[in-house]
Every structure is written in structure tokens, then in C-alpha cells.
Amino acid sequence: MALIRVTKEFAFEMSHVLHNYDGPCRNVHGHSYRLFVTVAGEPVSDSSDPKLGMVIDFSELKKIVCGEIVDRFDHSVVVSRFEKAGKIEQFEKLFGNTVVTDYQPTCENLVQDFAKKIGSRLPRGVELHSLRLYETATSFAEWFADDNR
């Protein structure tokens, strides 16, 4: 049997603020994110299995990624817990859907966090191969399993 990789794309809108940054991204601003999730595995070979020929049903991958990432981060403002407590409370009052992270919410740190969240939910026999997170049309961060073993 062959190892096959399959990829699904997701899109969401998110604002963030970079704590103590020395440029304009220290202010609240937003992006239209695109997330490409690639998983790897052997397609189901049991002819009695309704998932015959699939590594993972795309609808199952969608449920995982939406539950862990899209539903949580879409139309949110993401701030680091390193922000002053009063500032975080202001964000929560002003924006409602505020996500407080244990890290600076850069594209690089977000993709690493997303890899942990998605990887822990995949079914047996399916492995997270890579993620590519576009923050803008021309800028992205990538995470590869082989680089993080």
C-alpha cells in the first residue's frame, strides 16, 4: 500500500495585536488567514469499509480543524497573556470574542499551536504532515512534522 497525503484549505478572519512589538503590528489589526492542512496515511483497503480508498474523509478533517481552529479563532481578536490585565479586559469589552494565548500571536507561533491542536485529534493511522498558514496573500509560515520530531 502507498502512503498518500491529502490537503484541505480553510479560511478565517482574525485580528491580533503583538505585545511590545516595535512596529505598526503593536496595534490591533486583522488578516484574512488561509490554512492548508496536509495529513498522511494509507488509504483504507477494506472493501467493506464505507471509507474505502480514503486516507481520511474530508468532512472528518473539516470537523477537526473547524472545532479546534476556525470556530475558535474566526472573527476574534488574539492577544498574548503578556499584555497588561487591564488591557486584556478592554479587548474583551470592546471586541467580545477575545482569545488569550500563552504566546505572542505571530503567524509562526499560531501555526505551531495549530499543529498541536490538530495533530492530537487525528484518527489512528492518520498523521499530520504539514500546515501552511497564510497571514497575507504573500506571507505565510509553515510547520512540517519531519522538522519537529
List the grid coordinates of 42: 494509507
pLDDT digit string (tens) for 33-70?
999 999 999 999 999 999 999 999 999 999 999 999 99
Cβ contact 92:98 at 8 Å: yes
How many structural domains are present in the chain?
1
Domain limits for position 119:
4-75+105-148
Cell of 125: 493511522
Domain membership of residue 127 (yes or no) is yes
Beta bridge pairs of residue 13: 32
Angle at 112 between CA 136 and CA 141, to 5 degrees: 30
Cα 116 versus chain centre, distance: 9
Whether residue 50 lies inside any domain: the answer is: yes
Query: Which residues are tagged catalytic?
Result: 25, 75, 135
pLDDT for residue 28: 94
Q: CA torsion angle for 110, 111, 114, 116 (degrees, to 10)?
A: -110
83 belongs to a structural domain: no
In a domain, 89, yes or no: no
CATH code at position 111: 3.30.479.10
Q: Is residue 81 part of a domain?
A: no
Q: Kindly give the confidence (pLDDT) of every residue in the chain, 149 residues in length, as a single tens digit, with 9 standing for 90 and above.
A: 699 999 999 999 999 999 999 999 999 999 999 999 999 999 999 999 999 999 999 999 999 999 999 999 999 999 999 998 799 999 999 999 999 999 999 999 999 999 999 999 999 999 999 999 999 999 999 999 999 98
Q: pLDDT value at position 85?
A: 77
- Beta-bridged to residue 128, according to DSSP, are 39
Distance of CA 73 to the CA centre of its chain: 9
* Statement: the pTM of the whole predicted model exceeds 0.85: yes
Note whether residue 90 is domain-resident.
no
